[in-house]
A and B are shown apart, each in its own frame.
Chain A
Amino acid sequence: MAETRLIEISPVTRVEGHGKVTIHLDAEGRVDEARLHIVEFRGFERFIRGRLMWEVPVIVQRLCGICPVSHHLASAKAMDQIVGVDVLPPTAEKMRRLMHYGQVMQSHVLHFFHLSAPDLLFGFGAPAEKRNIFEVIRENPTLGLRAVQMRKFGQEIIEATAGKKIHGTGAIPGGINRNLPVEVRDRFLGQVEEMLVWAQDALALARGYVESHADMVAGFGTFPSSHMSLVREGDGALDLYHGRLRALDAGGAPIFDMVDYRDYHKHLIEDVRSWSYMKFPFIRALGAEDGWYRVGPLARMNTASFIDTPLANAAHGALRAFSGGLNHSTLANHWARMIEVVHCVEKIRELLQDPDLQGSDLVAKGERRFEGIGVIEAPRGNLIHHYRVDENDQVTFCNLIVSTTHNNEGMNRAVKAVAVQHLSSQPKITEGMLNHVEVAIRAYDPCLSCATHALGQMPLQVEIVDAAGAVIDRAGQCL
């Protein structure tokens, strides 16, 4: 049986969320059912209710230590509506976009180089002592250095636009509280061309992986599904910061399109199932059975009509041509993610050259409203923040749908498909086999921290249950 790896919890407590994979075997040792359980975020409503609207974009960053900027921006967009602002001053919108592109870039880079590269380079079944970032760096030190430099570039953009890492205050209801000084802009301009070259190299790596493992990728957690994201109003271009909701069915036909996201609840239903506390949202028009969908980088490549930056657009075209329509392969997320890194760097370069970033008109005002819904395309996919605020500026209601929740059913399907393929009827289930299940989950880059609040012993636990219902194996894993 697989060796149990223990992860020490004391003194390091940085385990904000937890998840569990349960694999049920029948009497013949075939995989009967496999499920990913992620404990739903509770306590959040209580934490937010009664807060003053002005502090919401700052305190929501406490929800998650992994994607604080996403929550910062989604809540600020909701609060824009509360202060009656539908169009931000150009400086405010562009500073927020710069912040967002910086964060998507650094998040994707971390995921690709540090979490996924070992699996992709050494193979999913390689021994754990080989399958880690240190071996990647040992074999390719340049790659390791670039990954850290790219992360740093993204982080510094976040700091220049949002402020302190742990307590960003940049986005405020109706605008932004700073612009970008010329000397800071010039520092970034001095680095951005190199970043673009490195981003393209990373893209070539991810694309090359999928192309050279086409059969394996096609058979690994590939299943038809609907896909949903924001796209730009009017032309349907990829837009990570703002736009309208588009959902396509597995064949690429629209289920809904150009939907004002303030009407999200007319199109999405949030379902809770007994075996998981986590919500399973579905598309109303398709019903609970068939209405599930995927979000995230690959979903965005599927929904976007095109990309408005040239290098990323060419890459988008190449992915489309390779897929011959929508792409439904779990592992193609890696390719999609690196297309987005190129897009973000192109966007960052475009913004840095825009004098609006040095503008001084930072905040707009409007007529007060009592409800606001902010939606962005976070690194992991669509993120919805919904608030009601009373006349005393206090929050009375909030609802949140995070990317990991949108992807709940999709990740479960991927887990089941991979478990059936790699674990069924095996005389001995090894760590390498279990890692295949993790690879499938990891491709979606779930934020357990976002989706949960309970403090677990391990980020992800795998449990194998025999036909009699007894747990026959447990393994603590790192996602």
Chain B
Amino acid sequence: MPVTRLLLIGYGNPGRGDDGLGPALAERMSGRNLPGLTVEIDYQLTVDHAALIATHDAVVFADAAMELGMPYRLTQVEGTPQALGSHQVTPEAALHLAWLLYGRSVPGWVLAIGGEAFGEVQEGLSAVALSNLHLAEQFLAGWIRQAVRAA
């Protein structure tokens, strides 16, 4: 930091209750039109994101969390060759792929947002998730303003 091109990837399934927290946060941040910020929304993190990550200076992965014990938490993560799961990759693996494939070592953070209702086929966030989403949004907007310097 500072960076000029920051990528936010919000992922999860809005049809699985609070699993939609990542996309919900990304939608909100997208609406703020912050300079230097690119917003990407997807059901899950996949290998394709490595290519996108490689064209940015830093990346924030926004994801729902179970049993977080706090409204949100921002943790720096490093690229590591973690096993690929069923059609999805971890933030660490995505960063590692960006390095392996494109030679770009991009700093990354995971923004975990606490939820409580997962698994059911339903749209909409729980009250707790909504409140956590609001706090995480306020926090991230400030964090991005600090992190991103005009090019």
Contacts and interface: CB of A to CB of B under 8 A. Distances in A.
Partners in one complex: yes
B112 A43 contact: no
Interface in A5-64: 7, 9-17, 41, 43-44, 46-47, 59, 61-63
Interface in A130-149: 132-134, 137-138, 141, 144-145, 147-149
B43 A134 contact: no
Nearest to A138: B100
Interface string B117-138: 0111111000000000000000
B86 A460 contact: yes
A11 B64 contact: yes
A151 interface: yes
Interface in A251-307: none
Given A47-B121, A132-B84, A10 B15 contact: no
A188 B102 CA distance: 23
A62 B15 contact: yes
B84 A114 contact: yes
B47 A151 contact: yes
A115 interface: yes
A65 B64 contact: no
A447 B88 CA distance: 12
B23 A66 contact: no
B101 A141 contact: yes
A381 interface: no
A165 B46 CA distance: 13
A121 interface: no
Contacts of A447: 87
B63 A62 contact: no
A66 B46 CA distance: 10
Contacts of B115: 13
B63 A11 contact: yes
Contacts of A174: none
A355 B60 CA distance: 42
Nearest to B102: A145
Interface residues of A, number: 53
Given A10-B68, A137-B100, A164 B41 contact: yes
Nearest to B19: A13
A148 B50 contact: yes
Interface stretch (A236-244, A417-425, A448-456): A448-456
A128 B83 contact: yes
Contact of B81 (A10, A17, A63, A132): A132
Contacts of A170: none
Contact of A13 (B50, B65, B101, B121): B65
Contacts of B16: 16, 62, 453, 455
A68 interface: yes
Contacts of A133: 47, 84, 97
Nearest to B111: A11
A14 B19 CA distance: 8
A400 B40 CA distance: 30
21 contacts: A10-B67, A11-B68, A13-B63, A13-B65, A13-B66, A43-B122, A62-B15, A66-B43, A66-B44, A110-B87, A132-B81, A134-B96, A134-B97, A144-B97, A148-B48, A148-B50, A151-B46, A151-B47, A155-B48, A453-B121, A478-B83
Interface of B: 11-16, 19, 23, 41-48, 50-51, 63-68, 73, 81, 83-88, 90-91, 93, 96-97, 100-101, 110, 112, 115, 118-123
Interface of A: 7, 9-17, 41, 43-44, 46-47, 59, 61-63, 65-66, 68, 110, 114-115, 128, 132-134, 137-138, 141, 144-145, 147-149, 151-152, 155, 164-166, 447-449, 453-455, 459-460, 478-479
